[in-house]
Chain A
Amino acid sequence: QKEVEQNSGPLSVPEGAIASLNCTYSDRGSQSFFWYRQYSGKSPELIMSIYSNGDKEDGRFTAQLNKASQYVSLLIRDSQPSDSATYLCAVTRSNTGNQFYFGTGTSLTVIP
């Protein structure tokens, strides 16, 4: 079982819609959760971090964490073509020296 799993997609949504990206993780000891965005040919950039159960909002982005169900999601409201990218979920566990475990990423395309 992989540490972090994501649906590779591609996920296509029309412009203005809500894009929902999901990530599950295997270890209940996971403590910190991150979403990165990676444009084609570029390196990943941090979008959101979340550490406790519930929702965390930042502009059009909302991260949702449910530790009991071991999933973390990212919602993008009012999706724009510029949101088209691969979204990487990352998780850390304290018993591994806070090593980051990355999912393989979900490719999102926002259709104008």
Chain B
Amino acid sequence: GAVVSQHPSRVICKSGTSVKIECRSLDFQATTMFWYRQFPKKSLMLMATSNEGSKATYEQGVEKDKFLINHASLTLSTLTVTSAHPEDSSFYICSARDTVQETQYFGPGTRLLVL
């Protein structure tokens, strides 16, 4: 299957700082990438849909000024958690859609802990 990478895999930061998470599709081009968050023992929650070259579409309840998404190329999308607070601590997972196979592949996730 296709490979999607995420970096960093784990980050610990102080409250008030910003954290950038990168998501890359390594062997295919992805015009669309998705950002999810998942709390322990809970289901995936879609945060936003990221389209290359255009603004991201955010799900209801997700603050676009807090979770900045940039999809500057067909293989890279970034999520920046601005002014992070402890309640932002979560498992953030990106996925990329392979438009040829119409399949969504997930990155390994980034575990964020805000102190």
Contact = CB atoms under 8 A, between A and B. Distances in A.
A105 B1 contact: no
B103 A43 contact: no
Nearest to A104: B43
Interface stretch (B11-19, B73-81, B82-90, B105-113): B105-113
B106 A102 contact: no
Contacts of A100: 34, 97, 104
Interface residues of A, number: 20
A25 B108 CA distance: 27
Interface stretch (A44-52, A60-68, A70-78): A44-52
Contacts, number: 40
Nearest to B42: A104
Interface in A33-57: 34, 36, 41-46, 49
Contacts of B91: 41
A80 to B, nearest CB: 20
A49 B103 contact: yes
Interface string A88-107: 10101000001110111100
A44 B6 CA distance: 13
Nearest to A105: B43
Contact of A42 (B43, B101, B104, B108): B108
Q: What is the interface residue range for chain B against chain A?
A: 10 to 19
A100 B91 CA distance: 19
Contacts of A43: 93, 106-109
Given A102-B44, A105-B43, A34 B106 contact: no
Contacts of A45: 1, 106
B46, B93, B103: most-surrounded residue (chain A CB, <10 A): B103
A16 to B, nearest CB: 27
In the A-B complex, list the 3 residue pairs whose CB atoms are closest, starting with the nearest: A104-B43, A43-B109, A43-B106
Interface of B: 1, 34, 43-44, 46, 49, 91, 93, 97, 101-109
Given A32-B102, A34-B104, A98-B102, 19 more contacts: A34-B103, A42-B109, A43-B106, A43-B109, A44-B44, A44-B93, A44-B106, A45-B106, A46-B103, A46-B105, A90-B104, A99-B49, A100-B34, A100-B97, A100-B104, A102-B43, A102-B44, A102-B46, A105-B43
